[in-house]
Structure 1
């Protein structure tokens, strides 16, 4: 297979789907992707104070903004343009950034020459690529543009996480407020006293919205561990009933007040802008909530498929929302001033008994409405962690069929605690709505900026003009909403800025510490000649078994292992230097995942294995992973002589291998004890595992005797046991460093000590683990 076509072929193999599968995914996406967008009528108009509305005509003008904003942003921008920039079926801020890393060479992640060259083979060699544009050369040349794009991507990721905190609080609190209003209408039935009714209403305001909302939020976040697939099946019917119910009453109000349809004309928007002032501009910060959830359409792309998300929005969600908002605006305009709650969606449900049904339905819908931002937060945290921009957290892949569906337990509880804190701290739907609106529109602006660069750099045609047009058209609309959101900075929007700064500090510190550790490892590595030449002088002995040395560098011997050998002169008869390399792509095909090479002469029995993975790849199990490494090395030994002889001597020359080699025959036995050699005490330790033994295939004329002998030594070493060497770093700040560097290093060190252990994802037994401490002077 041509390497340049490998990612394309794997993409179509994964994403190829029939219409039947599209229908199934569309159904599930309703409960995950569109729950947020479908429930925006609960708080878009409902967060407006009726006192700020001057006339019914102004409501018509606001509805015109709602209609055209829904049409331009989620429909035109996302469904028809941004979806074209998916990264092999994956979406989100980091998907756009990973595309820029590959197309404009702006990546700042620790990488190596060999991995970079292989990425060029997958994406198209430089000779096959078209001539670089001026924009690509300019962006690739200046380092400041690299940092700017990374900060932009991190900012967009922080805003999506903030959205996952505020949206559950906003949607659930809006629904419980409807419950409070519904219960307060029962008060006249039990008492005729006005004072008693006021006391009941005061009691309900105090004890219904916040406690009930907190209980619902806890239940919502506890459901996340069941995975996107199950949650989508449970929540999708609720969204369908919700959309039918709200659009039905919207149509009912349109029939009674058909003049609202005239407000679809954009002249109503121009009329609003012509007489705009500070008070009316603030109203747009509430209107922007009508598109809250549009960013999740793109961020949740990996959970489903592009076609299923697009079909669902165009044929169901978009027309339902237009009908609902039109009916709500029609009722609002005709009953302006009748009550303080006239702007709420529940008031437009005119039938008294159906209002109570609406209250119950809105509670369930609010649960669904929060799901899209929660799953989007999981997706973006998984991407950030894979690209070394977020502390180590556990990521659970909840589906074997759809690889993008993930659950992050640590992030789930963090989101729950922060969402509860926001709800209890503010206790005001307007303040929470102001903060949510700022997070929504800032995230969309980040996507607009990155997408304009994608258009200019990635699309084949010379579309610099289209790139500028995209930025100016969508950017001007979003800038108008952004200005209105900043007018409410002191009324809740400040919280988004604070949380974003906290998350940005965490991400930047982690990225900075990762880069500095990598640079330290590169500067202090030793050559294999040091290891082999020094061994006789130190009296180094080779003990039976295999030693896995986990390192970030891909050339030379890591400094922590040389430190280990200097103090304890013994290592295994077979060494495997193992590196995990995250590449800015969604997935790496299994047949191209491993790069295997040899270090030094054959008699050294030292191999290097680079495991490449994308930001959506599944984390490996320890048993399967170890077996795959042994199998790949066996395949390397058999294929080595067919390649250039420089592979034997020159480090950095490697062979691309998969996991399905046939050099060794695996035999799966029952559960047994595998011996693990403790080279410090020279005593065997044992751990239980699913034993996979390897046998050599029957003799064949194609296999050289030296190859067979080396394979036998590999099998023998595997039978003797394995040990894992990990470097445990202690960061020390160099004297004279500036305050910013000191702060970033201290923040990274704190996060490193308090987050999960090494991100390898291997359940290494303690008896087989050797951690070597090293002081890193940064």
Structure 2
């Protein structure tokens, strides 16, 4: 119960009397409705004269549950969905530098991590090469390039994108703020299940009605994101350490020291953004792949082509028969050949599916297969060099150029995973499961390129500690493998769900995908977990730490939202409040922020009781994050009136995707006020259109003798019919009357009357804007109820409070200027 005031009446808000059509924000869908009208400026008057008005669409539901407009560009697709081949080739070239740095540097340490005790029988080398070949072909090539990439969220990839895609099709989000109008956004792209496949409906129903299923899916998602963030620690350490290992003659301590210096420089350079050096990435990685291929071919020509018999998968069977348990344990090293595979999916948003498929198939895959085959050929003659296979196999003249390129490639690999960690944390913020941190967008060209200063320095410290603590790539490899395979298993599970619910794939194909890749990845996972005490605990401990933070923050965030939804203020109470003569109306526009999207938050009466004044224009602003990758500006703002209209109070839901940024306060204010003006123009147009239609309908009835001219019944009819246009339902007879009236040529008169009627209100809004825009921010202190369990009190009263006090406050995240901020605190007991 909020403290500091008498509790307001709490009950479901009654429908408000509002007129308008769908574009203004609160209309129902009407079949066969004609093209909507869009008024933005007075200059549109002539254009609107030639447009048809949909009288049937005057039906209005007073709820932000049904208020989205179908805009002119609705149905637009992701910008990369259809591109020509020239663009695809360009994107494919750029993707080489961003996506494949991690998997491309794996040849630096795979053989040394696999044969930690020596090669032994020479056929062991052929068996491991066969495992490497088929691991790369089956997982990155078949699974990711041709299956997982299809499970993108409007061009965005990663664990969070999979969760967002599922949340759009199945109501599994733990925060109950889904709204039907969100489904009409151009990027929502929902395809309902067909009538022939009832399976998808049944699975959806079970998931939506199961709290355990929702919680499990959420935990799996944050586990996957935590593991990828963990890669942001392990990838720089193992990549840089293995590349610098080319100068082991200076001693292991020197290698570690140089690696630490490089890592510190790398993290300090993050604030400049990857876009600043992005053009150099692709040429360097292409050069790296050229070195890998050239050195591999040199070794094959020099030491023989016999190792290519490893393409026969029977050597894998013979390998496990010969080595038994040792062969199973060695899979922990083999799996490192596919590190960075998840980057193909996570970095999809900067490219497109065809570009990733093309670059991997044409460049990355052949280069890696040649490199590993060449190293195997070298080891057939020099098995004693297995601990330093890559550098020992380099021809003398190419040693130092290869070393320089290897260090550069390892830095690029590290850069990609660090940027990926930033992107994932930024996405987690929109899910409400990570404390507020400062997010800096470093590129105007690529929206996904962000920099988070606090997280950057935390990752830097973690990388330095891991590098100094483990010292060798072999030890880090034990930890790295768990993070890599765990994310793959989670991806397989979530893609299987998408196949069932979203794609409605044939059940046999789903079973084939799930069983085959599930078994392969489970075998790998069991192997890497075997080395838990040798370093494998690190990613699990790191993920547990991150999951604890995410879980605490999201739990309280969810409970706080549920509290506000349950205690939202009734419309009658607001009406009484603003009509109280003791409440002053002061000049300016007040923006009262709330996360509630379906009502007026309980903190509003607390504001008024603390400061008995209301701005001349008051907007209840709800910032809502949607499970999609992009919300167009034209679809972002949804407005409605709060009755009575003469008080000029509005509600506004501002919808952002998990990749959109709010921008500066000045930009946000300008966008909001302009959209508010459009809403007012449109509302006046609707009102005038309704009145015109009713008058024409009345005239028709009089002419037909169904209504006496001058009779008082006429006024009653007009009033009742106008009221019907603002109610949730309109009779078919009224709609027919409107359609009959619509046949007359009255558009010009409607537009003129609407513009004249709106002019006074628009001037008032402009004057209020000139008087100043004030941000009203409620700081709700959340506490566990006295009767709560001890665990709940620890989580809410200590864990959440600690996170809230040590991370950024709301006004800093929204970049609200302190000079225009008015903050009032209250307490929620959950």
Match of 1:68 in 2: 134
In the superposition, relative to structure 1, how do residues 650 and 14 fare at CA in structure 2: closer, same or farther (>3 Å)?
A: farther
Quick check: 2:185–2:631 contact (8 Å CA) kept in 1? no
* Matched residues, number: 706
CA–CA distance in 2 between the matches of 1:85 and 1:117? 18
- Deviations 1:130-182 (Å, cap 9, x if unpaired)? 754322222222121111111111111000000111010001111122222xx
Q: Which residue of 1 aligns with 2:263?
A: 217
Cross-structure match for 1:707: 758
Pairwise mapping of residues 695-774 of structure 1 onto structure 2 (< 5 A)? Answer: 701-745=752-796, 746-758=798-810, 761-774=813-826
Aligned partner of 2:205 in structure 1 is 137
Match of 1:664 in 2: none
Cα distance in 2 for partners of 1:537, 1:342 equals: 82
Q: In structure 1, what is the equivalent of residue 378 of structure 2?
A: 331
Alignment of 1:405-424 (within 5 A): 405-424=449-468
Q: Contact 2:183–2:190 (CA<8 Å) still a contact in 1?
A: no
- Pair 747,586 (structure 1): closer, same or farther in 2 beyond 3 Å: same
Deviation of 1:25 (Å): 2.6
Q: 2:169 maps to what in 1?
A: 103
Q: What is the Cα deviation at residue 421 of structure 1?
A: 1.2
Contact 1:247-1:320 at 8 Å conserved across structures: yes
Secondary structure of 2:277's counterpart equals helix
Unaligned runs of 5+ in 1: 185-203, 653-698
Q: Matched residues in 1 for 2:811 and 2:170: separation?
A: 28
Could you say if the C-alpha distance between residues 355 and 494 of structure 1 is closer, same or farther in structure 2, counting changes exceeding 3 Å?
same
Change (3 A) 1:25 1:423: same
CA contact under 8 A between 1:583 and 1:612: conserved in structure 2?
Answer: yes
Specify the alignment match of 2:400 in structure 1.
356
**7 and 247 in structure 1: CA distance in 2 versus 1, 3 angstrom threshold:** farther
Q: Is the 8 A contact 1:251 1:327 kept in 2?
A: yes
Correspondences of 1:681-692 after superposition (within 5 Å):
none
CA-CA distance at 1:12 after TM superposition: 3.8
When residues 715 and 650 of structure 1 are mapped into structure 2, their CA distance, relative to the original with a 3 A threshold, is farther
Q: Distance in 2 between matches of 1:96 and 1:288?
A: 24
1:532-551 aligned within 5 A: 532-535=575-578, 537=580, 539-551=582-594
Q: Does 1:345 align with 2:390?
A: yes
* Maintained 8 Å contact 1:155/1:504: yes
Deviation at 1:388, TM superposition (A): 1.2
Task: Specify the SS of the correspondent of 2:591.
Answer: strand
For 1:552-631, what aligned pairs fall within 5 Å after superposition? 552-631=595-674
Moved more, 621-630 or 639-648: 639-648
Q: 1:510 to 1:61 in 2, by over 3 A?
A: same
1:704 deviates by: 5.0
What's 1:436 paired with?
Answer: 480
Q: Distance in 2 between matches of 1:646 and 1:555?
A: 24
Whole-angstrom CA distance in 1 between matches of 2:527 and 2:125: 17
- 1:385: which partner in 2? 429
Counterparts in 2 of 1:353-502, with a 5 A limit?
Answer: 353-460=397-504, 462-502=505-545
Pair 1:234-2:280 in alignment:
yes
Looking at structure 2, the residues matched to 235 and 116 of structure 1 have their Cα atoms a distance apart, in angstroms, of 38
Structure 1 range deviating more: 749-758 or 520-529: 520-529
- State the alpha-carbon separation in 1 of the partners of residues 296 and 80 from structure 2: 40
1:607-635 CA distances to partner (integer Å, 9 max, x unpaired)?
01100111112332211110111111111
Query: Structure 1 residues 299 and 759 mapped into 2: Cα distance closer, same or farther (>3 Å)?
Result: farther
Correspondence for 2:574 among 506, 531, 544: 531
| Cα displacement (A) at 1:115 | 5.1
* Alignment match, 1:85: 151
C-alpha distance in 1, partners of 2:393/2:149?
Answer: 35
Measured at CA, do residues 736 and 636 of structure 1 come closer, stay the same or move farther in structure 2, by a change above 3 Å? Answer: same
Question: Is 1:307–2:375 an aligned residue pair?
Answer: no
Higher mean Cα deviation, 321-330 or 619-628?
Answer: 619-628
Q: 5 Å matches for 1:269-288?
A: 269-288=316-335
SS in 1 for 2:754: coil
Q: Is the 8 A contact 1:172 1:367 kept in 2?
A: yes
Aligned-residue offset at 1:5: 9.5
Contiguous gaps of at least 5 residues in structure 2: 1-34, 37-68, 691-721, 730-749
Q: How many angstroms does 1:651 deviate by? A: 11
Q: Quick check: 2:95–2:356 contact (8 Å CA) kept in 1?
A: yes
Q: Measure, in 2, the Cα distance between the counterparts of 1:6 and 1:586.
A: 20
Question: Is the 8 Å Cα contact of residues 4 and 124 (structure 1) preserved in structure 2?
Answer: no
SS in 2 for 1:156: helix
The one-character-per-residue Cα deviations of 1:361-397 (angstroms, maximum 9, x if unpaired) are 2222211221221122122112111121222222233
- Alpha carbons 2:677, 2:762 under 8 Å: kept: yes
Q: Given the alignment, which residue of 151, 166, 171 partners 2:239?
A: 171
Q: For the residues of structure 2 that align with 1:266 and 1:114, how far apart are their CA atoms?
A: 51
- Quick check: 1:250 aligned with 2:316? no
User: 8 Å contact 1:576–1:606 — kept in the other structure?
Assistant: yes
Superposition CA RMSD, Å: 2.6
Residue 55 (structure 1) aligns with: 121
Residue 311 of structure 2 corresponds to: 264
Name the SS for the 1:752 alignment partner: helix
TM-score (norm 2): 0.81
Q: Relative to 1, partners in 2 of residues 1:637 and 1:650: Cα closer, same or farther, differing over 3 Å?
A: farther
* Alpha-carbon separation, structure 1, partners of 2:102 and 2:429: 25
Q: Distance in 1 between matches of 2:543 and 2:263?
A: 22
Relative contact order: is structure 1 or structure 2 higher (C-alpha 8 Å, sep ≥ 6)? 2
Residue 226 of structure 2 is matched in structure 1 by 158
